[in-house]
Amino acid sequence: MSTRWGPTIRGLRYRRGQTVVMMVVIATLAAIAGAAPWYARMTRDQTTVQAFDLGAPASTLRIDSSGPAVPDELVPDDPMIVDPVPSRDATVTWAPPDIAKPGEGMLLSRAGVCDHLRFVEGACPTEPGQIAVSTADQELWGLQVDSTVPFSASGGGAEGSLRIVGVYEVVDGDDPYWYDLVPDGHSGWRDLEIPVADRFIIDPATWQLYPDIDGQSHLDLRVDAQQVDSDDLPHLQTLYDDLDAAVAATGEETLTSAIPDTIDELEHGFDVAGRGIALTVGQLAAVGLVCLVLAALLGVRAVRRDLGLQRLRGSSPGRLARTSALEWLVVALPSTVLGFVGAIGFAIAVRAAWLDQARVLWPPWTSVAAAAIVPIVGSLLVAFLTRRVARAPIPSLLRSTESRAAAGRVGLLVLDVILLAVVGCSILVALTSTESSPLVLLAPALLAVGGGVLVCRLLVLLIGRLGPRWLVRRPALGLGWLEIARGDGLRAMVVVSAVATALLVLTTQAALIGDHNRDHRADVETGAATVYRTTTDAGQVQRALDEIDPERQRATAVATVGRSGDSYRMLYVEPEAFRRIAYGAAEAADAGQWAAITAPAGRATTLTGDRLRVRLTGKVDARTPMGVRATLLDASGEAQSLTVGQVRPGVSGSQVLETGMDCAEGCRLLSIQFDPEGETGFQGSLAVDTAANGSWAPVELDPDGWRPIGVDYDGYRLDVAAGQPAGALDLDLATGGLSLALQSTYLAGDLPVLVSERMEVTVEDGHEVHTPGTALLPVQVQGSLHDATPRLLEDAMVSDLSATTRYGDARTDSTSEVSLWFAEGADDDAFIEELDILGVQLIEVGDAAEARTAYANSSEALASRLNPIAAVLVALLAAGALGLTLAGGWRRRRDDVRALDLAGVPRRVWVRATRVAHLVPVVTGVVVGAVAGAIGTSIAVQRVPIFATAEPAIHLQLDLQQAALGVAVAAALVVLLCVAVAAWRSITSGRRWER
Amino acid sequence: MRDTTIEQAGVAVAAHAVVHIYRTEGHDVAALSGVTLTVSPGEVAALLGPSGSGKSTLLQLCAGLLRPAAGRLTVGGDDLARLSPTELDEFRRVTLGMVLQGADTNVVPYLNCADNVRLARPGLSATQVSDALALVGLPGYDDREVTPLSPGDLQLLALAGAVAHRPRLLLADEPTSKLDHASRDIVMEAIFRINAELGTTVLLVTHDPVVAARMPRTVTIRDGRIGAEGRSGEEFAVISADGSLPLPPDVLADLPPGTLLRVLPEPDGLRLVRAEDDDAATD
């Protein structure tokens, strides 16, 4: 073969070992370079699509107008904006049949709404004055087709009534058509005092019927997630800004959208993920570059004599450099293509496995450019090295072994000092930077380099002292040590092994710690494996659970009081079951703390029969009557709020107030409330009786079992003391008109609570908290929660649910929620069906697995998924780098072996010596790398932003995972030792790998 | 057909009081201590002498691989010490052909014969390569692999690689070492053929007395100086630039260093008389 490239190809075939290594290194580097930007791009696209696919409000724009309609010209002419839906609504006051107090409702007309509803009765309104109501409202308020709903506009003015023509269900609540306005059928609360209705669907013509209703028009716009990728974010931002300006210019319309926030969040995620990917891949590329340098150096050194011959024939170093660089491309270009094909394969694989929503499979230009840089950099490197080598005197080039003096004029000590100074400064800068810098991620590698150099120097010093002594006593060991000391590859071997091990530790720990904390966050935010909301009272839920899961192995009931934004929220739980299901094993050690919040049971006041009678004896100092109400809790757990009667003003002596009650199976008396219409005073005794069988049977009223509430306002007074006769309460009541109440404490003491850490300083014993209903209880702090309360990341207090169910107050209303938290694996249809049969209907509000998946698809998590791949590649590249380091000193080592052989040193001695010389640096490097990796990773995970979580923060598990650490170090040791052993065996068996 | 016409004449090599010192750790070694030598264009000369005498050093100085510490060395009138690295490359590319010691040292094992000849000289045409191979006695070897070649053929291939560009000076360091007699003769014939057909000046180093005997001119180097010179089989002493006269080894055995001599001019030359003999005669 005498073509232009014939000699080059022959040379490559001749040095096929080197060629293969070189091709693997280049291909790996090209694959990394090509895949990293590609992967980053796909993660950006994936998270972008996910963010806009979430629906409202992340991907929607709403234009509100006080006019009859939003002008059509405001709809942006942009293909990404789809499905404009005009609508108009108005808040009205209405009253359900048989309920005196008015509630709120909303009239809604929406283009095409009939196509998105299923009518279980009647049909969609098509005429003015017609409405459709939800099945939930039908059930809750007894609304029927053909009945009318009287209403009045909330702002006053219009009044009227609408005829019900249909009862609807939503066909698909996830349909983007609904934006975030889907009538879910559960907007009404079972609190009889505030009847909030679901959407009342009307025909648009109804607005003309009632022109005085102060309604609002809307135009909903949606970004089509299927059309958006990460490159479109600037365009979307511009689109929003333009629309915002256009809307503002009208003066009548307003624009609301979370799109700017979505874009900000996405870009923040891109930034975090980009830095994570860049640092992971950057370190990987650095190892790859070291491999490339070693491979290139080895390749150039292997042709020293060829270069000498060519120099002898008049080729200049520059010409040889150019020729070498060009010839190197013969290897580099196909290898790069091969690597890029690998990157394509990687992209296809991850797209199939992880990034199914990343539509763009075509590589970004950065990917191609990054891959193209590899052969260019390699070519320049080869040119530089060739030129450097070829400039040596021709006679030295023609010698078989490179002169030791050619190593350089800078002493190794100076080199070490410079290296350590650079490493030290880098670590110092990373650690002292004001913000948590991701550069801290370099700490393990930097520590490994610094530690490796230091240990090498110490090792050489040690060998200097001990080597000669060992040489006499144990020749193999002594020879091996001396070989280590004189080997110029010692530093390279130790540092390569150390850096590889440290990176392996970092990548595995980063992946595991990141995943663990993301999962932990998902679990905490969800609360339990699955969480369902229910409109059923907690008492009923508990009774249902008592029947089918008495040990609470599968689920537990939780009542929450307080909305997001309150200073804190109260969580009433079943302590032991909650500890197990919500906290899992992590809180097992705090079982005693959780047991401490079990509410101590007090004495109950029990009534039986069908008449409730209250006797007040004393002086009523009032000009207006004072209502008396009582709350009872029946055997089924249902609370009964009864108006007992009115106390007449200015009457001295006894007054008996009486009303009916439904307590055939017994009721508990929970509270007695005084509702004065004006300034009132009462001094006397109160007794409660029940007519069980027609005769008076006084109920014993223990003053310790009652406490006044609502008396801390402007000196209003309600004192309670033991009365005469026995069984009555002495009362001293004074109020300016506000209600005061006596509440059965029903607890032996104050409500025991656990509080979040931050609340410890603000909440003291005696602080009063609300139960889900009306009760107000003083607390006794039993301890603090060291972690965020599951599902409630704000400040929270936790207490015993039984304390509230005793008051019949664990109800679902506008400020509280009853939910059922399921243990892992308990969320099966049969169990849910059993609950349904027992009257507990569930609506899923949280699924830990889904939350984990969502976090696992975040930009940060997707970036972190590269870590295990990086770990494998680090191990491979390190093996390559070590192999090349060993091969670089091959000829000299072989000469050493030959010299020992010629000197009459027995074969077994020099074989063992060579083994020591190969293995000790590797083992030393792995040990140094393990220590550097552990220390560096501990520092990095504490400080790097990619391990932080969004506010409010949860406690992160940032300790190193010891088992994984051991596995990573063992893996590094095995891989690197295999390379060293292979090198040792090939040298001692005389193979010519130096080619 | 091979072009047998002499296209360009050889160059003259002139060394005047050339000194070369190898600097090593701790001490310096003078490899050449004032060598003065002239080789005429187209002449074939051999450098003889014991190991370490400096003949290979002189050859490397002539090739511009080393620079003399003192003295002047010209090839074709160019003072090699004054040439820049680029000019030296040009000199080696155009004027010089060199064969290193060791048959396999001059060839790249994975290239075939033609590619070995073409190594570093991409401008050579296939015909020129074939001609060069034919000139040294390896016609048709263009596509042959190097590995199976005999040491003699390898040396011929080295010669072909050295002369393919028709150099004006051929330097060969022990071109016949480690060769059997037949191969040695073939190589020598090739060298003479090169000289004859290309007019190339040939300067070679040899230890082989048979080779030396066949050379029209031999220069013996001893202790870094010209010890003797032979022409057509006859041995001569050579007066150095500083006027010193190295004595032949057999004479030196009778006249050890430090012996006082009287140099007496005579009509056909000089007569050396040991001083004490002369004094005794006078007494």
pLDDT tens-digit readout, A557-590:
998 887 555 678 888 999 889 988 888 766 555 7
Is residue B1 assigned to a domain? no
- Using CB atoms, pick whichever of A14, A306, A314 lies closest to residue B89: A314
Quick one: B68 and B57 in the same domain? yes
The mean pLDDT value of chain B amounts to 87
Structural element, H or E, at residue A61: strand A60-65
Mean pLDDT of A6-19: 81
Q: Do the Cβ atoms of A105 and A151 come closer than 8 Å? A: yes
Most confident among A383-387, A677-681, A725-729 (mean pLDDT) = A383-387
Q: How far lies A965's CA from each of A442, A501, A898, A928, in Å? A: 18, 10, 41, 14
Mean pLDDT of A663-689: 83
Which tokens go with A617? 């004896």
Q: Binning pLDDT at 50, 70 and 90, where does residue B5 land?
A: very low
Distance CA B136, CA B142 (A): 12
- Using CB atoms, pick whichever of B60, B93, B115 lies closest to residue A313: B93
Q: Is the pLDDT of residue A840 over 80?
A: yes
- Using CB atoms, pick whichever of A309, A316, A394 lies closest to residue B119: A309
pLDDT tens-digit readout, A513-564:
888 888 888 888 888 889 998 877 787 888 899 999 999 999 999 988 875 5
Is residue B3 assigned to a domain? no
Query: Under an 8 A CB cutoff, do A6 and B115 touch?
Result: yes
Q: How far lies B169's CA from each of A216, A691, A723, B38, in Å? A: 104, 139, 137, 13
Quick one: B187 and B112 in the same domain? yes
Which tokens go with A234? 């600037």
Whether the bond into A708 is cis, omega within 30 of 0: no
Is residue B5 assigned to a domain? no
Distance CA B65, CA A311 (A): 10
Quick one: B172 and B268 in the same domain? no
Q: Which domains does chain A have, with CATH numbers?
A: 1-58+259-409 (no CATH), 60-257 (no CATH), 438-525+848-995 (no CATH), 536-601+748-840 (no CATH), 606-744 (2.60.60)
Q: Provide the chain B residues 93-132 that lie in CB contact (below 8 A) with chain A.
A: 93-94, 96, 98, 100, 105-106, 108-112, 114-115, 118-121, 126
pLDDT of residue B166: 92
**Best residue in A309, A327, A397 for a mutation probing chain B (most B CBs within 10 Å):** A309
The shares of helix, strand and coil residues in chain B, as percent rounded to the nearest 5, are 35, 30, 40
Quick one: B261 and B213 in the same domain? no
Quick one: B118 and B221 in the same domain? yes
Distance CA B219, CA B226 (A): 7
Mean pLDDT of B217-223: 89
Would an 8 Å CB–CB cutoff place B229 in contact with chain A?
no
Distance CA A83, CA A222 (A): 6
Distance CA A619, CA A814 (A): 39
pLDDT tens-digit readout, B26-69:
678 888 888 888 999 999 999 998 888 888 899 999 999 998 99
DSSP structural state of residue A583: I
A490-526 vs A848-856: helix crossing angle, rounded to 10? 140
Quick one: B180 and B257 in the same domain? no
Q: Which residues pair with B72 in a beta bridge?
A: B16
Would an 8 Å CB–CB cutoff place B145 in contact with chain A?
no
pLDDT of residue A286: 81
pLDDT of residue A810: 56
Residues of chain B neighbouring A13 (CB-CB closer than 8 A): 110
Among A52, A41, A45, which Cα is nearest to A356's? A45
Percent of chain B clearing pLDDT 70 (strictly above): 94
Q: How many domains does chain B have?
A: 2
Query: Under an 8 A CB cutoff, do A2 and B92 touch?
Result: no
Query: Under an 8 A CB cutoff, do A7 and B90 touch?
Result: no
Quick one: B242 and B158 in the same domain? yes
Is residue B101 assigned to a domain? yes
Whether the bond into A317 is cis, omega within 30 of 0: no
Is residue B4 assigned to a domain? no
Query: Cβ-count burial of A194 within 10 angstroms (0-12 exposed, 13-18 middle, 19+ buried)?
Result: middle
Q: Which residue of A has its CA nearest to B163?
A: A313
Range of the domain at B205: 13-246
Residues of chain A neighbouring B90 (CB-CB closer than 8 A): 314
Four-point Cα dihedral A14, A20, A26, A29, nearest 10:
-160
A584: left (phi over 0), alpha (psi -120 to 50) or beta: left
Chain centroid to CA A205: how far? 47
pLDDT of residue B97: 93
Quick one: B57 and B110 in the same domain? yes
| Block residue for tokens 């191609």 | A368
Lowest average pLDDT, out of A188-197, A940-949, B202-211, B272-281, goes to A188-197
Is residue B8 assigned to a domain? no
Chain centroid to CA A604: how far? 45
Which tokens go with A689? 């009786």
Is residue B229 assigned to a domain? yes
CB atoms within 10 A of CB B141: 24
Q: Which residues of A562-575 are buried (b: 16+ CB within 10 A; e: fewer)?
A: beeeeebbbbbbbb
pLDDT of residue A436: 58
pLDDT of residue A98: 67
Quick one: B138 and B276 in the same domain? no
Instruction: Give the pairing type, strands A751-756 and A776-785.
Output: parallel
Q: Which residues pair with A110 in a beta bridge?
A: A87
Distance of residue B144 Cα from the nearest chain A Cα, in angstroms: 10
pLDDT tens-digit readout, A324-376:
898 888 889 999 999 999 999 998 888 888 887 776 567 888 888 988 988 99
pLDDT tens-digit readout, A325-339:
988 888 899 999 999
Task: Return the SS3 of A854.
Answer: helix
Q: Is the pLDDT of residue A405 over 70?
A: no
Phi, psi of B203 (to 5 degrees): -130, 120
Distance of residue A315 Cα from the nearest chain B Cα, in angstroms: 6
Quick one: B240 and B260 in the same domain? no
Half-sphere exposure for B144 (CA within 13 Å, toward CB): 17
Is residue B159 assigned to a domain? yes
Distance of residue B267 Cα from the nearest chain A Cα, in angstroms: 49
Query: For residue B162, what is the domain's CATH number?
Result: 3.40.50.300
Q: Is the pLDDT of residue A170 over 80?
A: yes
Q: Binning pLDDT at 50, 70 and 90, where does residue B172 land?
A: very high
Chain centroid to CA A790: how far? 13
Distance CA A674, CA A710 (A): 11
Distance of residue A493 Cα from the nearest chain B Cα, in angstroms: 30
Per residue, the 3-state secondary structure of A722-757, as one string, reads ECCCCCCEEEEEEECCCCEEEEECCECCCEEEEEEH
Task: Return the SS3 of A80.
Answer: coil
The mean pLDDT value of chain A amounts to 81
Q: Which amino acid is at A381?
A: L
- Using CB atoms, pick whichever of B89, B98, B114 lies closest to residue A316: B89
Which tokens go with B190? 């090739």
Lowest average pLDDT, out of A174-188, A221-235, A570-584, goes to A174-188
Q: Is the pLDDT of residue A842 over 90?
A: no
Q: Is the pLDDT of residue A696 over 90?
A: no
Q: Is the pLDDT of residue A443 over 50?
A: yes
Quick one: B22 and B90 in the same domain? yes
Instruction: Give the pairing type, strands A81-94 and A148-153.
Output: antiparallel
Quick one: B132 and B212 in the same domain? yes
